[in-house]
Chain A
Amino acid sequence: MAADQAQGGFPVDPIHQFQIQTLIPLDFGGIDASFTNSSLWMVITMFAVTAFTIFAMRGRAMVPGRMQSIVEMSYEFVANMVRENAGSDGQKFFPFIFTLFMFVLFANLFGMFPYAFTVMSHIIVTFALAMTVFIGVTLVGFAKNGLGFLKLFVPDGAPGALLPLVVLIEIISYLSRPISLSVRLFANLLAGHITLKIFAGFIITFVSTGSVLGIAGAILPMGMIVALTALEFLVAFLQAYVFTVLTCMYLSDALHPGH
C-alpha cells in the first residue's frame, strides 16, 4: 500500500480500518484470547450499555429524568418488539433480546466515532451472534414442541406432489437463516464504512492537486460524506433493529410452528 501511495494511487486504504490489531497478547490453554482493538470496543460497548441501563436508572425516580426516560423508552421499545413479534410467551427471552439489541446498537454507534473499531464489521462476530440465535431458537423449538416443531417445514395447503420440494425449500431457507442474518449486518456496516473512507480519500486526492479547481471539487465528496454519515447512523440503528426483529420472528416460529 505504501508503494501505491508513492505512485500516486488512492491515498487512503479503505480496508485498513477493519484490521485487527493485537493490543495485549493472551493465551489460555492454547486458545488465542489476545486483547485486540475489537475486544477493546466490545468491552467499551459492554460498559456503555451497563452504564446506560444501570447507572441511568440508579435514581429509580417516579418521574424520570432525561437519561432514565431514554432507558425506559429502550426497554419499552424492545419489550413491544418481543410482544408483537414473538407473542406473550416470548417474554421469557426478553433479557437476551434486549442484550442483543443494545449490544449491536451500541457497537454500531461506537463504530461511527473516528478511529473507533466497528465490531460488527467482522463476519465472525455477526455470524457467532446469528448462530447463537439460530441454535437457541432451534433448541427452544424442539424443547417446546418436540417433533411437532418439524411442522414448521410443512406449510399448510401445499399440494401433495409438490410437498417434498416445498419441504426441501423450507429446510434450506431455515438453514440459511444464520447466514442471511449475519451477512446482512456485517455487509451493511462494512460497505457503509468503506464508502465513507473512499469519499474521504477523494477529498484528499482533490485537495492534494493544489489547484483551485481541485479544492472546489472537494466540496462534492465532502457533501457526500456528510450525507452518508447521517445515513450510516440510520443504518447503525436500523441494522440493530432488523437483527433483533428477525430474532423475534425466528423465536415466534419456534414457539408457534403451526403458523
Chain B
Amino acid sequence: MSQDTHMTPELSEGTVQQAEHGSNFPPFDVTTFEPQLVWLLITFGILYYLMSKIALPRIGTVIEERRDRIADDLDQAAQFKQETDDAIQAYETALAEARGKAHAIAQETRERLSAQTETKREALEAELAKKVEEAETRIASTKDAALQNVRTVAGDVAGAVITQLLGDDADAAQISQAVDAAMNQEG
C-alpha cells in the first residue's frame, strides 16, 4: 500500500504529461509519425499528379506558344522591313529615272525651241537683208537719176550761161565734157 502510494504520483504525472502532449517535444513524438506520413503521401502524391499531368504541361504550352508567337512576329517584322526597303529602293529608282527623263525632255525642248528661233531669226535676217539690198538698189538708182538730172541741168545752165556771155551757142560736147570733169572733181 505504501509502495503503491509512493509510486502513484510519479506515474500519474508521467501519464498526464503523456496525455497532454504525447511527448515533451512534439516533433519527436513517435505516435504522430504515422498520420503525418500517411497525409504527406496523400497530399504530396495528389499534388505531384496534378502538377505533372495538368498544371506543368499547361504552363509549358503557354510559354512555348508565346515564344513561338514572338519568334513568328519577329520574322514577320523582318519580312515587312525587307518589303519596305524594297519599296524604298524601287521608289528611288523610279524617281531617278523620272528625273533623268524630265531632264532629257527639258533638254530636247530647249534645243527644239532654240532651233526654231534660229530658223526664224535667219529667215528674218535674210528678209531684212533682201529689203536692205532692195532699198540700196532703189537709193542707188534714185541717186543715179538725180545725178543724171543734175548733169542735164548743169549742162543746160552752162549752155545758157555761155550763150548769155558770148552770145553764141556753145559746143554741147565741150560743155558736157566740162560738166563731167567738174562733177568728177567734186567727187
Contact = CB atoms under 8 A, between A and B. Distances in A.
Given A31-B34, A72-B63, A94-B56, A122 B44 contact: no
Contact of B62 (A39, A54, A57): A57
A190 B43 contact: no
A53 B59 contact: yes
Contacts of A103: 43-44, 47
Interface string A113-148: 000000001111100110000000000000000000
Most buried by B among A35, A42, A94: A42
A67 B142 CA distance: 121
A153 interface: no
Contacts of B39: 33, 35-36, 38-39, 42-43
Contacts of B78: none
Nearest to B58: A57
| Dominant secondary structure at the A interface | helix
B38 A99 contact: no
B65 interface: yes
**Most chain B CB neighbours (cut-off 10 Å) among A62, A122, A186:** A122
Interface in A52-91: 53-54, 57, 60-62, 64, 68, 71-72, 75-76
Contacts of A57: 55, 58-59, 62
Nearest to B62: A60
Interface stretch (B1-9, B21-29, B93-101, B104-112): B21-29
Interface in A15-51: 15, 18-20, 22, 26, 28, 31-36, 38-39, 42-43, 45-46, 49-50
A98 B51 contact: yes
A38 B65 contact: no
Contacts of A19: 21-22, 26
Interface string B26-60: 11110111111111101110111011101110111
Contacts, number: 131
Contacts of A26: 35
A144 B184 CA distance: 146
The binding surface of chain B is classed by DSSP as helix
A123 B82 CA distance: 64
A251 interface: no
Interface in B94-132: none
A98 B56 contact: yes
A36 B66 contact: no
B53 to A, nearest CB: 9
B26 A75 contact: no
A186 B27 contact: yes
15 contacts: A20-B26, A22-B35, A36-B32, A36-B35, A39-B35, A42-B44, A53-B55, A62-B69, A75-B59, A95-B56, A103-B47, A121-B27, A122-B36, A128-B40, A186-B27
